[in-house]
Amino acid sequence: MEFNHISVLLEETIDSLDIKPEGIYVDGTLGGGGHALRICERLNDNGRLIGIDQDKDAIAAATKRLEGHSKKVTIVHSNYQDIDSVLSNLSIGGVDGIVLDLGVSSYQLDNVERGFTYREDTPLDMRMDQSSTLTAKDIVNDYSEQELYRVIRDYGEDGFAKNIAKHIVKAREEKPIETTGELNEIIKAAIPAKVRKGQGHPSKKTFQAIRIELNKELEVLENSLDKMIELLNPGGRLSIITFHSLEDRIVKNIFRKNMNPCICPPEFPVCTCGKKPTGKVITRKPIVPSDKELMENRRAKSSKLRVFEKTR
């Protein structure tokens, strides 16, 4: 299957990076290389792009897409949480911009064999990094009822999390839950029919929750942003596209904390904690897709772009 993925908020993201032709840029979620290609087109021969992705299918697709710019591109199979060691290994001390396009690619969703979809019956997988041994099947069959409830409640924000967890545990007592279709039926049975009506696919929230837990998506994001800001050169920018409220909240809060790090009580006349801002938030409100983009790409619907600039 060909790696197809329409980059969301493409022009807005590229513009937000304020690209210098001779700069060094990192695409931490390389995917099919859509954002990376636009960055490369704005770089001169002295510019450089580092692409990072944990999905080997994405790396193969991006390598092909960027072959016309191969002299200025370095692609690394890794997770963006390891950006500091990736750059250190390349003897790069600072960069002029970093972009993250979070969530699942269209290719991962549409390639049934990857086990992300709730629309087809396929083995439960959901690994973004196929070299990882843990799969969605392991979570569904091995987590305790309490752990499943926590995951579905916190990462899926599903009001029926407790009942879904209970139904999963009951079903796996008879036989292991092995496919997305089997899990779909269990979730469906756990949510009253009158609630399911007009609410979209009943499995959407639970599948999202399991995927986030498996790939440690929120943990990785939370542990990476401060370090990314630190790696920016003065005036460098960090541009992040999120797709649900959990991701967006993390980005918003960490950006805000970096802009206003002071922890002194509000009644103090002057700051005594010594914490200085590392930069400023460029997007007072997140940038969202235009009506035109939403018509052309329904998966852009929940996307938001937030941008942070390092102190010049």
Report how far residue 96's alpha carbon sits from residue 234's, in angstroms, rounded to the nearest whole number: 8
Per DSSP, the three-state class of 95 is strand
Distance set, CA 40 to CA 7, 48, 51 (Å):
15, 8, 11
Class of the domain covering 121-215: mainly alpha
Reading the chain (312 residues) residue by residue, the pLDDT tens digits are 445 557 899 999 999 999 999 999 999 999 989 999 999 999 999 999 999 999 998 999 999 999 999 999 999 999 999 999 999 999 999 999 999 999 777 677 778 889 888 889 999 999 999 899 999 999 999 999 999 999 999 999 999 999 999 999 999 999 999 999 999 999 999 999 888 887 788 999 999 999 999 999 999 999 999 999 999 999 999 999 999 999 999 999 999 999 999 999 989 999 899 999 999 999 999 999 999 999 998 889 999 999 999 999
Provide φ and ψ at 11, rounded to 5°.
-65, -40
Report how far residue 142's alpha carbon sits from residue 119's, in angstroms, rounded to the nearest whole number: 24
**Answer CATH for 10-107+218-310 from 3.40.50.1000, 3.40.50.720, 3.30.70.600, 3.40.50.150:** 3.40.50.150
- pLDDT, residue 105, reads 73
Which amino acid is present at 54?
Q
Which residues of the chain does CATH 3.40.50.150 include?
Answer: 10-107+218-310
- pLDDT, residue 4, reads 54
**16 closest CA partner among 184, 210, 255:** 255
- pLDDT, residue 189, reads 96
Provide φ and ψ at 278, rounded to 5°.
-95, -10
Which residues of the chain does CATH 1.10.150.170 include?
Answer: 121-215
Report how far residue 79's alpha carbon sits from residue 57's, in angstroms, rounded to the nearest whole number: 14
- pLDDT, residue 73, reads 98
C-alpha dihedral, 295 to 18 to 69 to 88, nearest 10°: -120
- pLDDT, residue 28, reads 98
